[in-house]
Amino acid sequence: MHHATRDRRLPLRPHRRPLRLLAIAASLLVVAVLPVAQTHAQATGRPGDFGMIYTQERVKFVGSAPTDFFYLRGATLDLSYSLWKGIGVSGTGTGLAATNVRGDIDFQHIQFLVGPRYTFNLGRITETTWARRGGIFAEGKVGYTIAPAGYYPSNGVLQTHASSLTYYGGGGINITLYHRFDLRIIDAGLVRTMLPNGGTNIQNTLRLASGVNFHLGP
């Protein structure tokens, strides 16, 4: 939840450079990490997944009408490894933004999370890699959210940036399209942040996402 109170001494258009830098870093990460992750998964025999997904969160203003919501939209990079019988660890990086909220407010969130994941594999038609059917996973994560743009009232002062601990619980479904490429038909969960909002300083938002997934290892 976010507070919409305005202070004309503050800039109406927060700088968008942090999300641009995140997008560049994410692209470099894909190029650098994916081949290494695939090689490691093959060498250890531990399967994993690398997801690239379009992400959105439904957010409510504090003290507004029950129907007064806006959406943060962006992308998530997701890397996970199975360590033992489907139990493993997952890490994600997410960049979200909303522009022109209530006419002149921009929000940006950069988020990093890590935690356990359990994956139930849907089996194979044959023993070949391309005969996989996909998998269903559930996970819980903890991390940190950096908000370099937005309005965040704290102790009577309206700030244009903030940060907080973040908790996430959810899951998703991967369905194999071809060989190692999956369609992540849904990735859904509840995100809990504690950014200043002039009220409870607690936000519980619904996250929905979908995209593609690259299966690592056997």
pLDDT in tens, 111-167: 999 999 998 887 665 555 556 677 899 999 999 999 988 888 888 888 888 999 999
Q: Are strands 134-149 and 152-154 parallel, antiparallel or unpaired?
A: unpaired
pLDDT at 156: 81
Beta bridge partners of 92: 78, 113
Q: Which domain holds residue 97?
A: 17-216
With respect to residue 6, please indicate whether it lies within any of the assigned structural domains: no
Rg for the chain, CA atoms, rounded: 19
| 210 contacts 179 by C-beta, under 8 angstroms | no
Ranges in the chain, pLDDT < 70: 1-46, 62-67, 123-132, 217-218
pLDDT computed for residue 72 by the predictor? 92
Q: Residue 42: its pLDDT value, please?
A: 52
Q: Is residue 154 part of a domain?
A: yes
Whether residue 4 lies inside any domain: the answer is: no
What confidence score (pLDDT) does residue 12 get?
40
Residue 11 placed within a domain: no
Task: Give domain status of residue 170, yes or no.
Answer: yes
What per-residue confidence (pLDDT) applies to 19? 54
Using an 8 Å Cβ cutoff, are 60 and 68 in contact? yes
The number of distinct structural domains making up the chain is 1
Residue 184 belongs to a domain: yes
pLDDT at site 218: 61
133: CATH: 2.40.160.20
Query: 176 in a domain, yes or no?
Result: yes
In a domain, 1, yes or no: no
